[in-house]
Structure 1
Amino acid sequence: MHARQDDNPRDAKRARVDFKLGGAARQNARISEQDAGMTEYVHPGWEPVQGIIKQRYADFLVHEIALGNEVLHVRSLAPPVGGTLWRRWVQDGAPGAGNVNVQEEEAALEVKCAAKEAELAATEQWTALQPYFGGDTQALEQLACGTGSASIMSVGIPDKADRAKVHQLIRSLSKSTLASEATTTEDGVAAILVQRMPPSRSRARLDPTSEAHTAPPYIHFTLQKTNRDSQEALLWLARFLRVDGRGRGANLFSVAGTKDKRAITVQRVAFQRGQKTLDDLWRAVNHIDLPVSSAAHTKERRTVKFATSTRAERGLRIAHLAYADRPLQLGMLAGNQFTIALRNVCWADKPLCDDRAKLCASLRERAFLIERDGYINYFGMQRFGTGAVATHAVGIAILRGDFQAALALILSPHEADSVHDGDEQGAPPNVVAVRKAKQAYAEARYGDAYDLFPKTCVAERAVLNKMRSKHWLPTDSLGAFQNIPRTLRLMYVHAYQSYLWNSMVSERVRRFGALHCVAGDLVATSDGHIVLDESNAQQYGIEQAVMPMPGSDVHLPSQSWLASMYTALLDRDGLTPASLSASRQAEYRLKGAHRAIIQKPRGVSVDLIPYTDADAPLVQTDEETLLPDVPAPVPAPLDAPFLALQLTFQLPPSSYATILLRELLHTDTSAHVQAALTKNSADQHS
C-alpha cells in the first residue's frame, strides 16, 4: 500500500475497521515489549528475576553528567554567594551557613564586616526613627534586612516636616530595599507605611551599571526536580518568575537533555534572564517573603532560613547559580548516572524462595557481565506509550497519509481502555474519565469529550479543541491532527522508526547472538560506516556495530539480509521504503540515523538492601542529605522480610536505564506489567 493523502475521509467508525496495524501492535491489550520489537537478550539463558521498577518515584535517581564528566549534584542549598539573600542567610545562621567552602567563608567574612560597619554608622539614624515607630525599631530593622514581616506602619505623625524626615531616614537606611508611602491610622492621623520593595521596583534596575544590566545574558543553575517531567518543571519555573505569558515561558529555558518524570533528577538548566539577577531567580523559585501557606490568616513569611531548612516548593530545588554567555543545547552532556532501587527482588517463578545467597550472587554476577558485555540498546517502552494504542501505530497512519485513521486511533474507544478493573467503581478516576471522554467522541460530542479528558491527555484535548470549533469541517482530519503540539506529533513517527530499529536488531541478535561482530554487520569507524565481511569481521568489537534507523539519508547494504527484512517489515504495515520520506508534510519525512546495537554501562555497582516497610525510603536525594531535619534511611536487619537491589551505573545520552534493567532481570519492563507487580507484591500486603 502506497502513501496517500486523506482526500476522501470516511467516518471514524469506518476508519477503525479498515485500518490494519499489521505486526506493529495490537489494539486489544496494553502494549508489551514484544509489541515494541524487543524479544532478545545478550545472555538469553538467565533465569527471570522479579524486581519492581519505580514502585516509588524516589527509587529512581538520575544525575546528569556534564561534558567534562562531572556528575552533577546539589551540594549546597545556599543562595548565590555574596548577594543580598546570601547576607540574610549568613546573618540568620541558617543550616549550612557555618559549613561553607573557602570562597564562601571569605564572602561571609566580608558580609559580617560590612554589616558591622553599617550597624555602627546607622545607630544614630535608627535612634532618630524610634519615636515614630513606638520606641522600638527592631521590626523595621528586620524589614530592611529582608526578615520578619513584609510591611510596618508608623504611629500617627501629624507634622509634615517630621513625615518628610522619616521618609528621608528610611531611604538612607534601606539602600533602596524599602519603600515608604503616606497612609493614615485608624483614627485618621497621617502616618507612614514602610514596605519591602520587590526586586522589580528596586532603583538598582534603573542603574545601567547594575548587575541586572551588565551581567551575561543567561543564568545557568542546577535543578533537582521531583516527580515532574522536564517541560512541566520548566513551566512551573516560568510561573514562579512571572515570565509565563501565554504558556510560552518555558521557551526561556534550555536543557542539555530531558529527564524521566517518575523519578528524582538533577540536571543543569539555562535561563534567558532579561534583567533578572541571580538573587531574583533564587528568590522567585524559593518564594522568599511570600506566605508559608495559602491560609488566609497566615502571617508567617518564607525566609531564606526557612527555604534552606525545608523541602523545595513544588519539588523544584535550584542551586549553584552562575551567569553565562550562552544557553544550553540538547546533547551538551556526557550522559547520566542512575541510582535505582528495585523492590521485592526474588526469583520470578519462586517468589517464596528464601535462598537469598544464591539470588544475591546471581545478581552480582549479572551486573559484572552486563558491564563487560553490554546489553541490547533497544529503544525503551517510554517511546511507545502506555495507552490502549501504541504511539508507533499512530505513526504508521501518519506515514500512510491517513490522518482520519490517526485520529481514530488516538480518540476512539478500544478494548484496552477497560482492562484495568472491569467496572467503573474500582477503576482509577482518570481511567473512568478517559472512557467517558472517548464515548463522547464516538457520539460526536466533541465539546463534552474535550471537557472530560484529563488535562494530562494533551494530544486528545488538542485535537478536540479544534474539532469543537464551529469553523472546523469534518473533512479536515489533517487540520485537527496538526493542532497537536509539534513535538508530540513527531513523537508518533519517531516511535515507528524506533519500532523498526528494535525489530531489526532483535532479528540480528536472534540470528547471530550479541557478543561478536559477523559478516554483514555495519560498524562505525573514524572514516565512516563500513560493511564487514568474513575477512575483517573479527577485527571489530560488538560495541562498534550499529544498526541503521530507516530514513531517506540511510542506505542499507544491498548484500546484507537487513534490506530484505526492512522491506518485509514495512510491507507488513502497509508501507514502502519511499513512504518514510514521501509525506506531503515535510516534518513527517524521516531522515534516518545509526544507533549502536550494544551499549556498555560504566561504573556499575550493586548493593542488596533488606527492608521491612514498603514505603520507607531506600536512597537519599541530594536535597535530603542537606536538609537538617531529614534523617538518613535506617538499615533494616539482615533477616528483614523483603529484599531490594540498589544499582548504580552510568550511560551515555539516548540510552535507556530500563533496558539495562530488562537485561538484568529478564522480565518485562512495560508500565502495566510493573503496575501489576506492585499491586501484587508481598511488601504491599505485609
Structure 2
Amino acid sequence: MEKEAPYYTFLDTLCYISDHIGFYGTIKNSPADFVVTEIDESGELVTRDSSKETEEQMQASSNEMTTGQNNVKKQRTNLRDLHDSRAGVSGSISDLSEVASEEMKDFTSNALHYHFNVTVLDSLNHFADSIKSAWKAQLSEADHQELSLGLFPEKSERANIHSAVRQTFPFLITFTKSTELLVKPNLDYQELCQLTSEEEADDFFTFLDAKVENSRFTFQPDSCKEHRTRVHHFINKKFGKLLETKSFSEKDNGLQMATITVRFRERKCPSIKRHRTEEVDKHSVYTAFTLQKENLETLEAISYLSTLLGILPSDFSYAGIKDKKAITYQTMVVKKVSPESLRTVESSIRRKGMKMYNIHPVTQPLRLGQLTGNHFSIVVRDVSNHSDDSLTDVQLRIEEAICNVKMNGFINYYGPQRFGKGQAHEIGLSLLKEEMERAVKLLFTPDAAEDSVNKAKKYFVETGDAKGSLALMPNYKVRERMLLRALHRYGMNHEGCIRGWLCIPHSMRIFYIHAYCSKVWNEAACFRVKSYGAKVVEGDLVIREQNASEKSSLSDRVHVVTAAEEEAKTYTMSQVVLPMPGHSVTYPANKVGQWYRDALAKDGLQTCKFRVGSLQLNLPGCYRQIFKYPLKLAYELSLGSQHEEKEVTTGTEIVALPKPHLTLTLDLESSCYATVCLREMMKFNF
C-alpha cells in the first residue's frame, strides 16, 4: 500500500477470479522497491549492456539513412528530368497540363482495371453517374450515399486505389473502415461547382489529390472581385492549412481581369538560406536511447527533456507509459535530435532523477505497444496475514496465493496508473460530452492534502484568477500550468476552455478519456466474470488465431461465439476479449453487451460517437483479453522472524521483531499491470 493518497478507490468493488485468502503487505515504500524494465520486441531487457551492438546499429542506421537520402535525391532528379522533358513538348503551360493530364488518365485507368474486376468497375461507374445525375436534378439524398469497393488488407494497395479513384472521379472521395474501402460524394466539390465550372472543379481536385511538389493551379480569368473573394474564402476555409491563394491582375481587350493561382504551402524552414533537402534531412533524424527514471511520470519526463532540447513533447515516441513511484527503464526515440545533441543534456537530467543509456541513431520512431512486455522486481514489505486470518502461517498463504495466480491467472483490469489521481475518469467523461468548462473545474478541484498544488487549485476555484493560480502552481505540474496560461489568455468560457485543452499535448488530452473508457472496461470485466465465470459462453467475443499466410487486422479476427461453439468448447478463456468503448468496436452478443449499453446510457453517452472534433480526439476503441497470466514468476520470503510481529520483553525493554518482506520477480505482457496481479495474489487493494 502506498504512503500517498489512493489513486482509484473503486478498484475495491471489482471481483477476483481465485478464492484463496491472500495476505497483507505494502508496496512502493520507496522507488527501489518497484523496478520496471521494458522487454523489447526481440525479448531482451532494454537495460543490458549493448555497447557493441549499439556500434553496429549506428553503422547500419547510418548506411540506411545515407541510402534513403540518395534515393530521395534520385527521385527528385527524375522528377526534374520529367518536368523538363514535358516542358520541351511545348512552351505553353496549358499544353504541358494536357500532356500531364493524359498521362495521369492512362495511369489511373490501368490502376483501376488492375485492382477491380468488371463488376466492381461497372458499379463504380454507375455510382458516379447517379451522383452526377442527382446533383443536376438538385436531389440532396445523393449526398449521403456510399458504395463499397471491397476489402483490401494491404495498406499500400488501399493507398493506390484511393489515388486512382480520386484522380478518375474528382467529385468522389474514398475512405476506409477497417480494411473495407468505400466511396461517397465529395460535397466540397459540389460546393466549388457553385462558384466555378464543372471542368475547373475537376481540374482543381485532380491537382489537389496529386500533391505534386511546386505545382500550381490557375482558375479562369475573372473580372468580378466579389466572386474572386468567394473563391478565395472557399479555398482558405476548406484547405487553408494545405494551400495558399493569390490574385494576379491582367488586361484582356482593355478589360481589367484577374486570375486566382493556387499553390501548396511550403514547409517552414528555420533559415532562409537553408535548402529544402537539408530541412528534410534534419526532420528524418531519429535517435533512440534507454531512459532510466525514478519517481517521475513518463509524460513529465518527456516534458522536461523537450524543454531542455528545445523541441515539442510530440517529438518523443515510446512503447508504453511506466509507473511513477518506481525505478523504470524504457526505450524512447526522439526525432530532430542527433545522438551528439542528446548527450549534451545528460548531466542536466540527473538532478530530475533521469539517466540515459545506449544512445544511437535509428531510422523511425516507436509506436505504442511496440514491446513484448515488462519485467518487474517488486518488494512487498510488512508481510502478514489479514486481520481475520491470524492462525495460519503467512508463508503458507503466500505459497497458496502464488500457486493460484500461476494456475488461474488474474483478471486483466487496468491498474491505478491508468487513472492517475483525482477525478481523471470524470474529466474524461466531461470531455466526451464536450462539457469543457466542467472538465476544467474538475481538473482544478483540490483534494484534502495540504500542499502547494492544492493551494493553487483552491485559489483558482475560489477566485477564477488563472494568472494568480499560475504563479502558485509548481513548475512540475506541466498540464495544469499549460491550461492556466491558456485560460488567462482566452478566458473561462466554452471557447476559452477548448483552446486551453488544445494547448495540452494530445497524449495528455486523450489520457483523461482513456481513464473513463478503462473504468468502463474494468466494470464490464467484473460483470462478465460474475455472470459467467471462467468459461466461454455464447455471445462472447474471441480473437481467432491467424495463419502465417493471413494478413488481417485485429478487428477482422474478432468473432462472436455461437451456441454450437460454446457446446463444443471451441475456444478457451485466453481468447475471450472485451471491447474498450469506441466508434469501431463490436460489443458482446449476450447480457454483457446490454451492460455496456446501459452503462454508457447512464453516463449520458447513448449517442456518443467517441470523436471530439474540437479537441482533435478520435477513439476507435480496441479489444482487451479478460484473463492474463504472469510469466517467470519467482519469489523469496525473507523472514525477519518466523512469525508475525511480536512484542518480546527483555527485562524492562519491549522489542518489536520486524515483519518479513517478500521479493517477487515476474514478466507480464504489454499493457498488463503488476499492481493488478498483486491485487489478485494478495486479495488487497492498493
Please confirm whether the aligned pair reaches a TM-score higher than 0.5, indicating the same fold: yes
Superposed CA offset, 1:66-86 (max 9, x none)? 11111233448999889xxxx
Q: 1:658 Cα shift?
A: 0.7
Superposed CA offset, 1:447-498 (max 9, x none)? 22222223343343333212222x5363533333333332222111111111
The equivalent residue for 1:410 is 443
Does residue 568 in structure 1 map to residue 542 in structure 2?
Answer: no
Q: 1:364 Cα shift?
A: 2.2
Q: Would the alpha carbon gap of residues 218 and 315 (structure 1) be closer, same or farther in structure 2, given more than 3 Å must change?
A: same
Q: Would the alpha carbon gap of residues 479 and 253 (structure 1) be closer, same or farther in structure 2, given more than 3 Å must change?
A: closer
The equivalent residue for 2:458 is 438
Contact 1:399–1:588 (CA<8 Å) still a contact in 2?
no
Contact 1:375–1:598 (CA<8 Å) still a contact in 2?
yes
Contact 1:64–1:335 (CA<8 Å) still a contact in 2?
yes
Match 1:384 to one of 413, 419, 424: 419
Match 1:481 to one of 488, 491, 501: 501
Structure 1 counterpart of 2:346, one-letter code: V
Match 1:229 to one of 281, 292, 297: 297
Q: Looking at secondary structure, tell me which structure has more strand per residue.
A: 2
Secondary structure of the residue aligned to 1:71 is: coil
Q: 1:646 Cα shift?
A: 0.9
Contact 1:254–1:328 (CA<8 Å) still a contact in 2?
yes
Report the Cα distance in structure 2 between the residues aligned to 1:320 and 1:360, rounded to whole angstroms. Answer: 41
The equivalent residue for 1:285 is 346
Aligned-pair identity (%): 29
Contact 1:37–1:502 (CA<8 Å) still a contact in 2?
no
- Written as runs of structure 1 = structure 2, the 5 A alignment for 1:108-257 is 217-235=285-303, 237=305, 244-245=309-310, 248=312, 250-257=313-320
Does residue 401 in structure 1 map to residue 434 in structure 2?
Answer: yes
Secondary structure of the residue aligned to 1:63 is: strand
Structure 2 counterpart of 1:593, one-letter code: C
Contact 1:38–1:378 (CA<8 Å) still a contact in 2?
no
The equivalent residue for 2:394 is 359
Secondary structure of the residue aligned to 1:220 is: strand
Q: Would the alpha carbon gap of residues 512 and 270 (structure 1) be closer, same or farther in structure 2, given more than 3 Å must change?
A: same
Contact 1:333–1:653 (CA<8 Å) still a contact in 2?
yes
Q: Would the alpha carbon gap of residues 561 and 322 (structure 1) be closer, same or farther in structure 2, given more than 3 Å must change?
A: same
CA RMSD of aligned residues (A): 3.3
Secondary structure of the residue aligned to 2:403 is: helix
Match 2:620 to one of 562, 571, 591: 591
Q: Would the alpha carbon gap of residues 312 and 445 (structure 1) be closer, same or farther in structure 2, given more than 3 Å must change?
A: closer
Superposed CA offset, 1:259-305 (max 9, x none)? 2221111222334475554xx75575258xxxxxxxxxxxxxxxxxx
Match 2:27 to one of 29, 34, 53: 53
Contact 2:411–2:627 (CA<8 Å) still a contact in 1?
yes
The equivalent residue for 1:267 is 330
- Written as runs of structure 1 = structure 2, the 5 A alignment for 1:635-654 is 641-654=658-671
Q: Would the alpha carbon gap of residues 321 and 494 (structure 1) be closer, same or farther in structure 2, given more than 3 Å must change?
A: closer
Q: Would the alpha carbon gap of residues 39 and 512 (structure 1) be closer, same or farther in structure 2, given more than 3 Å must change?
A: same
Report the Cα distance in structure 2 between the residues aligned to 1:575 and 1:442, rounded to whole angstroms. Answer: 31
Contact 1:78–1:319 (CA<8 Å) still a contact in 2?
no
The equivalent residue for 1:39 is 14
Structure 2 counterpart of 1:595, one-letter code: R
Report the Cα distance in structure 2 between the residues aligned to 1:473 and 1:409, rounded to whole angstroms. Answer: 13
The equivalent residue for 1:373 is 408
Match 1:328 to one of 358, 366, 371: 366
Match 2:559 to one of 527, 530, 541: 530
Contact 2:287–2:338 (CA<8 Å) still a contact in 1?
no
Structure 1 counterpart of 2:593, one-letter code: A
Report the Cα distance in structure 2 between the residues aligned to 1:573 and 1:486, rounded to whole angstroms. Answer: 24
Task: Give TM-score scaled by structure 1 length.
Answer: 0.57
The equivalent residue for 1:664 is 681
Q: Would the alpha carbon gap of residues 409 and 256 (structure 1) be closer, same or farther in structure 2, given more than 3 Å must change?
A: closer
Contact 1:345–1:642 (CA<8 Å) still a contact in 2?
yes
Report the Cα distance in structure 1 between the residues aligned to 2:487 and 2:305, rounded to whole angstroms. Answer: 32
Q: Would the alpha carbon gap of residues 530 and 235 (structure 1) be closer, same or farther in structure 2, given more than 3 Å must change?
A: closer
Does residue 556 in structure 1 map to residue 587 in structure 2?
Answer: yes
Secondary structure of the residue aligned to 1:64 is: strand
Structure 2 counterpart of 1:229, one-letter code: E
Q: Would the alpha carbon gap of residues 78 and 377 (structure 1) be closer, same or farther in structure 2, given more than 3 Å must change?
A: same
Q: Would the alpha carbon gap of residues 332 and 574 (structure 1) be closer, same or farther in structure 2, given more than 3 Å must change?
A: closer
Report the Cα distance in structure 2 between the residues aligned to 1:238 and 1:467, rounded to whole angstroms. Answer: 23
Superposed CA offset, 1:196-219 (max 9, x none)? xxxxxxxxxxxxxxxxx99x9544
Q: Would the alpha carbon gap of residues 440 and 580 (structure 1) be closer, same or farther in structure 2, given more than 3 Å must change?
A: same
Report the Cα distance in structure 2 between the residues aligned to 1:286 and 1:77, rounded to whole angstroms. Answer: 20
Contact 1:74–1:266 (CA<8 Å) still a contact in 2?
no
The equivalent residue for 1:581 is 610
Structure 2 segments unaligned to the other structure (5+ residues):
57-280, 547-556, 642-655
Structure 1 counterpart of 2:439, one-letter code: A
Report the Cα distance in structure 1 between the residues aligned to 2:53 and 2:560, rounded to whole angstroms. Answer: 55
Does residue 349 in structure 1 map to residue 387 in structure 2?
Answer: yes
Report the Cα distance in structure 1 between the residues aligned to 2:636 and 2:359, rounded to whole angstroms. Answer: 34
Report the Cα distance in structure 2 between the residues aligned to 1:574 and 1:463, rounded to whole angstroms. Answer: 26
Q: Would the alpha carbon gap of residues 222 and 607 (structure 1) be closer, same or farther in structure 2, given more than 3 Å must change?
A: same
Secondary structure of the residue aligned to 2:608 is: helix
Report the Cα distance in structure 1 between the residues aligned to 2:6 and 2:626, rounded to whole angstroms. Answer: 26
The equivalent residue for 2:472 is 452
Contact 2:436–2:494 (CA<8 Å) still a contact in 1?
no
Q: 1:586 Cα shift?
A: 6.6
Q: Would the alpha carbon gap of residues 78 and 224 (structure 1) be closer, same or farther in structure 2, given more than 3 Å must change?
A: farther
Report the Cα distance in structure 2 between the residues aligned to 1:321 and 1:467, rounded to whole angstroms. Answer: 39
Superposed CA offset, 1:25-48 (max 9, x none)? xxxx976442x58511111x3324
Structure 1 segments unaligned to the other structure (5+ residues):
1-28, 83-212, 288-310, 421-426, 613-638, 670-686
Contact 2:375–2:666 (CA<8 Å) still a contact in 1?
yes
Match 1:609 to one of 628, 632, 638: 638
Q: Would the alpha carbon gap of residues 506 and 286 (structure 1) be closer, same or farther in structure 2, given more than 3 Å must change?
A: same
Report the Cα distance in structure 2 between the residues aligned to 1:78 and 1:555, rounded to whole angstroms. Answer: 47
Q: 1:654 Cα shift?
A: 1.1
Superposed CA offset, 1:76-135 (max 9, x none)? 8999889xxxxxxxxxxxxxxxxxxxxxxxxxxxxxxxxxxxxxxxxxxxxxxxxxxxxx
Report the Cα distance in structure 2 between the residues aligned to 1:314 and 1:507, rounded to whole angstroms. Answer: 42
Secondary structure of the residue aligned to 1:603 is: strand
The equivalent residue for 1:63 is 37
The equivalent residue for 1:520 is 539
Report the Cα distance in structure 2 between the residues aligned to 1:233 and 1:274, rounded to whole angstroms. Answer: 16
Structure 2 counterpart of 1:260, one-letter code: D
Structure 1 counterpart of 2:428, one-letter code: G
Secondary structure of the residue aligned to 1:642 is: coil
Q: 1:312 Cα shift?
A: 6.0
Highest relative contact order (Cα 8 Å, sep 6+), 1 or 2? 1
Report the Cα distance in structure 1 between the residues aligned to 2:352 and 2:455, rounded to whole angstroms. Answer: 30
Q: Would the alpha carbon gap of residues 377 and 444 (structure 1) be closer, same or farther in structure 2, given more than 3 Å must change?
A: same
